[in-house]
Amino acid sequence: MHTLADERLRFIFGRRSIRKFAPGAVGDAEVDLMLKAAMAAPSAGAKDPWRFVVLREADTRARIAAALPFGGMMADAAVGFVVCGDLGAAHSGQLSYLLQDCSAAIENLLLCAHALGLGGCWLGVHPREDRVQKLTEILGLPPGVIPVSAVAIGMPGESKEPRTRFNPAFVHRESW
pLDDT tens digits, one per residue of 24-52: 999 999 999 999 999 999 999 999 999 99
For residue 88, tell me if it sits in a domain: yes
Q: What pTM, to 2 d.p., does this model score?
A: 0.95
For residue 174, tell me if it sits in a domain: no
* pLDDT for position 2: 55
Once rounded to an integer, what is the mean pLDDT over residues 48-69?
Answer: 98
Model confidence at 4, pLDDT cuts 50, 70, 90, reads low
For residue 32, tell me if it sits in a domain: yes
Query: Is the distance from CB of 15 to CB of 110 less than 8 angstroms?
Result: yes
For residue 108, tell me if it sits in a domain: yes
* pLDDT for position 7: 84
pLDDT tens digits, one per residue of 113-172: 999 999 999 999 999 999 999 999 999 999 999 999 999 999 999 999 999 999 999 999
* pLDDT for position 6: 77
Domain residues for 133?
17-157
For residue 2, tell me if it sits in a domain: no
CATH at 88:
3.40.109.10
For residue 11, tell me if it sits in a domain: no
Q: What whole-number distance in Å separates Cα of residue 148 and Cα of residue 98?
A: 9
For residue 144, tell me if it sits in a domain: yes
Per the structure, the count of domains in the chain is 1
For residue 176, tell me if it sits in a domain: no
